[in-house]
Amino acid sequence: MQIHILDDTSDTLRSLPSFAKLAGHDVTVWTDTLHDEDALAARLQAAQGLVLFRERTQITDSLLARLPNLRLISGRGAWPHVDVAACRRRGITFCSLKSDAAPNHSAAELTWALVMAAMRDLPAQMAALKAGRWQAGVGRGLRGRCIGLYGGGRIAGLVAGYARAFGMDVIWWGSETTRARLRALGETVPESRAAFFGGADVISVHVRLVADTRGCITGDDFAAMRAGAVFVNTARAGLVERGALLAGLERGKPACAALDVFDVEPLTDPHDALLSHPNVIATPHIGFVTQDEFDLQFGDIYDQITAFVAGDPINVVT
C-alpha cells in the first residue's frame, strides 16, 4: 500500500520502534506542512493511505475530491480537522482511536513544567545567570497555594495529582455536567465562575476545543483572577476569546501566561504580540511531543493500517 505520512516536521517517526509496523508498505514521510490545496493534492496523487499527524492538516471535501487513489485515512484522537461526511460519501475509510482509558502523560507533565517555570520565574532567572547576573528577582512556591483546573478529564486529573503532591489545594470548573460529576466525587467546585477564576493562584485549562467551548474563556474571566495569578494553556488557543489574553496581560490579569498553544501554528514570528510579551512563557505546542508518546500514538495508527489491509478494520469512524 502506498502510504503518505503528513506533517512530521521534526522528522522523528521513522526513527521510532513503531515505524517497523509499516514494513512491506511503500511509505513516504513528509517533513513540512502544506497549506496550499493545489500543492497538497499534487503531492498526494498516488496515496492509497494517509497517516495524519494530529490536526496539522485539514482534510476537506475539496481535497479528497482530488485524491482518486485514497482508500484509508488513519489518525488518532479527536477529528475536528477531518470532513467525516466527505469521507463517507467518497467511500474512504477513516479510522481514529480516541481512547478514554489512556491519559496523555506527556501533556500533563509539560503543563506541570510550565506551572513551575512560571511560579519560580525560571526563564528570567536562567537568562540573567547566562548574562552574568546572579539571582534576578524572587519566585513563588507552590505549597499552600491553589490551582484551578478548568475541565475534568484525564489530563486535568493527572495535573491535580501533581498539584496535591506539591501541597497545593485544587478547585475545579467546567460544564454543568462536569461540575456535577466532580462535586459527586467530593472535589471542590466553587459556587460561581467568578469565584473559580478569583480563587486560584494558577488557572490551567484542560478541555477539548469544540463548537461549544470555542472562546469560552473571556476577558471577564481574566479580570476576575487574583493579582499575581498565572494562566496556563496547554490545550488549545481557541478556547480563549481572541485578543482577551493579550488584553488581560496588559492590565496585569493574569500576571503571567504560560502557553504551549497559539491561534496561528506554527508561530514563527518572534515579534508576535503575545509571544514577545515580557510576561509570557512559551513552548511550541510540544505537550504531546516526546519519543514515548509518539511511539505509542503512531503504533496505534499503524495498527489501524494493518487491520484495514487484512480486511478487518478497527477504530472505524466511517
Angle at 261 between CA 60 and CA 229, to 5 degrees: 145
Residue 170 near residue 188, CB atoms below 8 Å: yes
Catalytic residue among 145, 154, 206, 236: 236
Catalytic residue check, 55: no
What burial letters (b/e) apply to 36-54, b meaning 16+ CB within 10 Å?
A: eeeebbebbeebbbbbbbb
Catalytic residue check, 206: no
Of 87, 49, 46, the closest CA to residue 71 belongs to 49
Helix 122-130 vs helix 105-119: crossing angle, to nearest 10? 60
Of 260, 277, 262, 254, the closest CA to residue 107 belongs to 260
Q: Which residues contact 1 (CB under 8 A, 6 or more apart)?
A: 25, 26, 48, 49, 72, 305, 309
Cis peptide before 278 (omega within 30 of 0): no
Measured between alpha carbons, how far is 287 from 108 in angstroms, rounded to an integer?
8
Catalytic residue among 183, 265, 271, 293: 265
Catalytic residue check, 265: yes
Residue 137 near residue 125, CB atoms below 8 Å: yes
| Residues across the chain | 318
Phi, psi of 135 (to 5 degrees): 55, 85
What burial letters (b/e) apply to 244-272, b meaning 16+ CB within 10 Å?
A: bbbebbeeebbbbbbbbbbeeeebeeeeb
Residue positions annotated with a catalytic role: 236, 265, 285
